[in-house]
Amino acid sequence: MLLPPPKVSIVVPVYNVEKYLRRCLNSLIVQTYDDLEIIIVNDCSPDDSERIIQEYQMQDPRIRYLKNDVNLGLGKSRDCGISAATGKYIMFVDSDDFIHHTTIEHCVEWMEKYDSDIVEFKFVYYREGDVIDLDRQKPEYKIEYIAVDNRETDLTCINEKIDGVCWNKLLKTELIKKLGLKFYARFYEDSPFTRAYVMNIKRAVIVSLPLYYYSINPSSITHTTDVHKVIAAVDCSCKALDSFFKFNAPLPIREKYLNSARKSILKLLLTIPTDQRIKVCSYIERKNEMLSGKMHSINLLVLNNHKCLFIGLCFFILGPKFWFKKSILWDQNPLFRRTYEHFRRRLIEKIEKLFHSDNLC
């Protein structure tokens, strides 16, 4: 007799996480909601992760083990999990993170109570050695329900409230497969997938309860930056913009995301050497005309070695709260704000003068 499919599929890509894998899997197998399958995708991990997976698989029949023939990266491993998923709902959990033992129960309850297409919940940062009492952690929380009655205003509202990561959400498996959504890149792969999904929902539930623990691992590839990761961020931004056009996203959503993408890429540009910035900015110009609106200016500044103006332009575009977000100077000192505005005006004058100069390459 065939058993009915589980209600929830949890997809866990695994690569080089033997130190954290048990903590992750323990948080999944003790869920108070047990009608689930745990799909573990081993992305050719070179460490002892496979032995740990097989150990847990012998203990819990809900665990399904898949192994890639070659290393495909986080995004493609998630795609493998989606293809194998049989649950009505799906959740992604990174293998160095973990979730609260009531996460699935809460999410299924909210999803079905509001007949929603997505449930998003909060997450907290976890550092090795932090003490978390999961049994006593029951803070007050709010539930916000949004129905898409007016596509432009309601979708714009939802996109402003829902973040771009995929792992603090419960989604509908059927909708993902119907839309043919994929994770494309090795880095920053969440945003295009999540934004495309949100463009096609009718109802959303956003809950302020923290149910996901995001592990801060300084040695993780996620916390390092090089030119390849910046280019990957550009690619993902372009794919997200393509999704907005494909699904006819309202103009405010496209404009807001475009500005956000520019700021994110600028932050990454500040972390790499000048010669690599040149490569990235040239790549942006070739890749997507929309995305290169302000990037073209940066490219010219970098090529002409105007390093101070480059930093200044970043300061101007990102805004003072990026640089001074924890400073009382901005919040309590009007003189400081006036000084910033004066600097901003002078900077604009210098940039305009530079771009009208005959010496500009």
pLDDT tens for each residue of 83-124: 999 999 999 999 999 999 999 999 999 999 999 999 999 999
Name the domain boundary from 220, 251, 276.
Answer: 220
Name the domain boundary from 220, 253, 284.
Answer: 220
The answer as to whether 3 is a domain residue is no
290 shares its domain with 191: no
Residue 298 — very low, low, confident or very high, per pLDDT cuts 50/70/90?
very low
Q: Which of 20, 9, 12 is nearest to 216 (CA)?
A: 20
139 shares its domain with 236: no
243 shares its domain with 172: no
The answer as to whether 47 is a domain residue is yes
Domain that holds residue 325: 227-355
pLDDT of residue 287: 64
Top pLDDT among 112 and 237 is at 112
93 shares its domain with 197: yes
Q: Which of 93, 84, 74 is nearest to 28 (CA)?
A: 93
Q: What H or E segment, with its residue span, contains residue 67?
A: strand 63-67
Angstrom distance (rounded) from CA 162 to CA 120 = 7
pLDDT of residue 283: 74
The answer as to whether 215 is a domain residue is yes
The answer as to whether 307 is a domain residue is yes
The answer as to whether 55 is a domain residue is yes
Instruction: Give the pLDDT mean for 17-33.
Output: 96
95 shares its domain with 116: yes
187 shares its domain with 94: yes
63 shares its domain with 172: yes
Write down the pTM of the prediction.
Answer: 0.73
128 shares its domain with 23: yes
Least confident window among 51-60, 154-163, 262-271: 262-271
The answer as to whether 40 is a domain residue is yes
202 shares its domain with 259: no
13 shares its domain with 149: yes
Q: Which residues pair with 124 in a beta bridge?
A: 213
CB 13 within 8 A of CB 81: yes
pLDDT of residue 344: 61
Task: Tell me the CA distances in angstroms from 92 to 21, 80, 156, 274, one per residue in order.
Answer: 15, 12, 25, 36
Helices (H) and strands (E) in the chain — how many of each? 15, 9
29 shares its domain with 167: yes
The answer as to whether 144 is a domain residue is yes
The answer as to whether 121 is a domain residue is yes
Q: What is the CATH number of the domain that holds 209?
A: 3.90.550.10
Residue 230 — very low, low, confident or very high, per pLDDT cuts 50/70/90?
confident
Instruction: Give the pLDDT mean for 24-53.
Output: 97
Name the domain boundary from 185, 220, 255.
Answer: 220
Q: How many domains does the chain have?
A: 2
pLDDT of residue 4: 79
256 shares its domain with 145: no
Angstrom distance (rounded) from CA 92 to CA 168 = 8
